């Protein structure tokens, strides 16, 4: 099994993003999850930018893998080479050169106190807050030919139940917002559908929102969660994704 995990860089005036730190501790998360070597986990670090994050993720999922390729980093990608349109249709890759069984994106949701398993992504980008390149979008369709919404196809209920049993504060959220997090979750599920094989989506997909870290709340009163607890939660996610295997909800 091969799983892709993504994280965002800091945005909105924050100096850090918990998801970056969390994925930089993926070895520790794997240890906590007791994953066998046969389960491969790749990382991709994304900028908090609508178009560039989407294009980088698309390249990771739908372009041939180079023999020397390692974990994806934001740096080293020429932004000028990225051609992406809001509402751009398409996303089909006839060769299907890269295979993932599951894609789990991570994002920061300041103000939340639990790990939030997002249930649904909607086909709208709308935010008065600019992304990290200064772009704001209003009433913009993410994909012109996409469904109005897609439901997560990762096993969110089993993850929730296992997490709560382990003492990790999880919840299922019915709104991923309309900012870059929803944008990425939507595209993960859209591309999975567009590249379906035999009526089965190319991969399972979902999104996990995490709270602030304690150091982000020193100057402002807001809920937070320790990095250790986030690691425990991500370990539960990986355990259940692997355990579910092909017993999933892809259609």
> Which 8-state DSSP code applies to residue 67?
T
What's the first-to-final CA gap in the chain, in angstroms?
19
The phi, psi pair for 155, rounded to 5°, reads -80, 75
Contact 22, 210 (CB under 8 A): yes
Mapping DSSP onto H, E and C, the string for 196-218 reads CECCECCCEEEEEEECECHHHHC
Taking the C-alpha atoms of residue 112 and residue 4, their distance in angstroms, rounded to an integer, is 24
| Residue 132 CB-density burial (10 A; 0-12 exposed, 13-18 middle, 19+ buried) | middle
**Is 118 considered catalytic here?**
yes
Taking the C-alpha atoms of residue 138 and residue 43, their distance in angstroms, rounded to an integer, is 30
> Which 8-state DSSP code applies to residue 174?
S
Residue of 118, 171, 231, 244 with catalytic role:
118
Taking the C-alpha atoms of residue 96 and residue 45, their distance in angstroms, rounded to an integer, is 22
| Residue 25 CB-density burial (10 A; 0-12 exposed, 13-18 middle, 19+ buried) | middle
Catalytic residues: 118
């Amino acid at each position: 099994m091969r799983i892709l995990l993504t994280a965002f860089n800091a945005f909105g005036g924050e100096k850090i993003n918990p998801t970056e730190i969390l994925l930089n501790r993926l070895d520790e998360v794997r240890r906590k999850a007791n994953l066998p070597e046969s389960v491969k986990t790749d990382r991709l670090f994304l900028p908090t930018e609508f178009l560039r994050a989407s294009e980088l993720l698309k390249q990771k999922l739908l372009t041939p893998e180079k023999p020397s390729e390692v974990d994806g980093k934001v740096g080293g990608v020429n932004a000028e080479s990225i051609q992406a349109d809001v509402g751009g249709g398409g996303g089909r890759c006839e060769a299907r050169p890269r295979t993932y069984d599951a894609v789990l994106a991570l994002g920061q949701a300041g103000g939340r106190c639990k790990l939030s398993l997002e249930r649904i992504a909607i086909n709208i980008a709308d935010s008065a807050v600019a992304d990290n390149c200064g772009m704001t979008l209003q009433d913009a369709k993410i994909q012109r030919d996409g469904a109005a919404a897609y439901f997560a196809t990762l096993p969110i209920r089993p993850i929730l139940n296992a997490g709560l049993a382990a003492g990790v504060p999880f919840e299922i959220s019915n709104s991923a917002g309309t900012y870059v997090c929803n944008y990425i979750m939507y595209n993960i599920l859209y591309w999975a559908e567009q590249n379906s094989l035999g009526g089965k989506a190319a991969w399972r997909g979902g999104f996990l929102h995490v709270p602030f870290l304690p150091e982000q709340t020193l100057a402002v009163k807001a809920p937070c969660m320790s990095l250790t607890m986030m690691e425990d939660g991500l370990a539960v996610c990986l355990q259940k994704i692997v355990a579910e295997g092909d017993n999933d909800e892809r259609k």
